[in-house]
Amino acid sequence: MKNTLKKVLAAILTLAMATGTAACTSAEESSKPEAGDAPDSGVIELTGFAVEGPYTKGDFNDLPIWDYAEEATGVRVDFETAPAASFQEKLNLKFASNQLPDVFFKCNLQPADITKYAAEGTLVAIDGYLGEYAPNFSSYMENDASIEKEIRMADGKVYGFPYLVTASPSRIFPKMFVNQKWMEAQNLEMPETTEDFYQLLKTMAGYDYNGNGEADEIPFAPEGLSALTKGLLGSFGLLTRGAAQEEWDIDPETGALRFIKTSDEYKAFLEYCNRLYEEKLLDQELFTTDIPKLTAKAQQNILGVVFTNNTNYLGDYAEDFTYIPAPLIGPEGDQLFGGRTIPVAGQNTFITKINEHPEETVKWVDYFYSPEGIEHFFMGVEGDTYEIDENGLPQFTDKVMNNPDGMNMEEVLGDYVCWSGGGNPSVADDTHFGNFLIPETTVEAAQALKAYTPEEIWGVFNYAAEDSSRISVLTTDISTYLADMTAKFITGEAGFDQWEAYKENVEKMGLEEYREIVQRTVDRYEEND
């Protein structure tokens, strides 16, 4: 039961960390005052718009979290919601028809959309309110400069409240795990270099670890292409500015902006991966795998090395795996781990131009960044869904962990919280939503790799309004081509005698213009230091 619950918790954590839309359910008609009115109680009533989530039961407006927020701030928001399937359409309609709420809540907007609606005057800049009315959120910005750099738009203003993920294991992806039972069976040593790793996989490929008489072992199974690249590119000297920018970084030798996917280092990485793939050391389903498929393979005891986010994805064999304590040293001596992100996981909560109480609204949102607000936001009601243990740490009660009615965690918390789906104006930290929900091995793996991550990490770039539409066109064409050719080089469908032609094609698709726009953006990004 305990292991099962851990797996459920880990799944929910992953869901909550995912970028995307967030949880809410449709608001019912009520007799509440119109937005902006202050009833006799003195509570300021506002309107909001959000997306429905899969776990909220009943009326989203009745969740206890709003009572806590109202008590702390004197503000109440009456939400209108839309199901996930039609949310984007209805969100676009809100903007297009000018039928705006006072606040968009848990509604993730891409930087290009924020830039557009800010330029139109639809979204209100919150800079001037943060220090006085948002002390909790401001403290996070003061302690981590990357947060402000990420959310400050090209016009120099801040419009959205972000989802902050400070839980250590959630910002390191992938972690690198090796089957210690397999290692012990042949007295194998932990690999230190990419060549060591290759030899380890070769040895694993020749041994029937599960004893079924079949050569069905998969020596190396990353959790998809993203896990492979983020886990290994640092060994080839790439991803020097972290994982958010997969096409651009800084060349450490020249200090210049570098396009990763036409570099000599990237070619070396692809050649290495091709060798693993051709020799069937690398999962042949790399480009179609996902977590359920990875779990299914793990349950057959056929996986030697796994690049994934969490050992719980390995099911009943999770305890057989230990972590590789350091990134592999590459052919040129590089030992970098580029799979690290900044705390900002998207901007999701915005004040609109119709809001007559921006100060109070900012104060209301800021509550969710306070210690008390974070606790209630993620864990529900003290004495009901969680309790404080002897160490002063919140722990879910049996009502959540071992529900007598057989409900799982998300079903229970659906009556209390709205964090499912991510996109939260709050902080997913180690205390309330981090380490104690994640296996110790996974936590230790993240801590070990953290020491090898870049000192400076970029987030998602906020392009200027005049560049945004052009970037969209350029990246659509270039990135599609890059993804296609990366797969062909790894699988051998394209030989490396085509490398120069590949580079020329990327240049013809507008790489130089792309570079100029990114360079301007990086220059502005760095000015926010």
SS3 string, 316-369, reads: HHHHHEEECCCCCECCCCCCCCCCECCCEEEEEEEEECCCCCHHHHHHHHHHCC
Tell whether the model's pLDDT for residue 4 goes beyond 90.
no
Count of all residues that appear for the chain in the document: 529
Contacts of 65-71 spanning 24+ positions with Cβ under 8 A:
65/376, 65/377, 65/416, 65/417, 65/418, 68/367, 68/372, 68/373, 68/376, 69/364, 69/367, 69/368, 69/373, 70/43
Q: Across the strands, what pairs with 396?
A: 386
Could you tell me the two tokens for 177? 């795990």
Cα 52 from Cα 24, distance rounded (Å): 4
pLDDT in tens, 399-445: 998 899 988 877 898 899 888 777 899 999 988 865 456 788 999 99
pLDDT at 437: 62
Supply the mean pLDDT for the chain. 89
**Could you give the 3-state DSSP secondary structure of residue 244?**
coil
Q: How far is CA 485 from the centre of its chain?
A: 25
The distance between the two most distant Cα atoms of the chain, rounded to a whole number of Å, is: 78
Cα-based distances in Å from 145 to 148, 426, 449: 6, 17, 22
Region of residue 301 (phi > 0: left; psi between -120 and 50: alpha; otherwise: beta): left
37-61: average pLDDT: 80
Cα 70 from Cα 48, distance rounded (Å): 14
Could you tell me the two tokens for 109? 């907007």
The dihedral over CA atoms of 324, 330, 334, 340, expressed in degrees to the nearest 10, equals: -50
pLDDT at 380: 94
pLDDT above 70: percentage of residues in the chain:
91
Q: How far is CA 509 from the centre of its chain?
A: 29
Binning pLDDT at 50, 70 and 90, where does residue 66 land?
Answer: very high
Task: Say if CB 344 and CB 147 are below 8 A apart.
Answer: yes
pLDDT at 332: 97
Q: Put the strands of the sheet holding 321-323 in their side by side order.
A: 218-222, 303-308, 175-179, 321-323
pLDDT at 206: 86
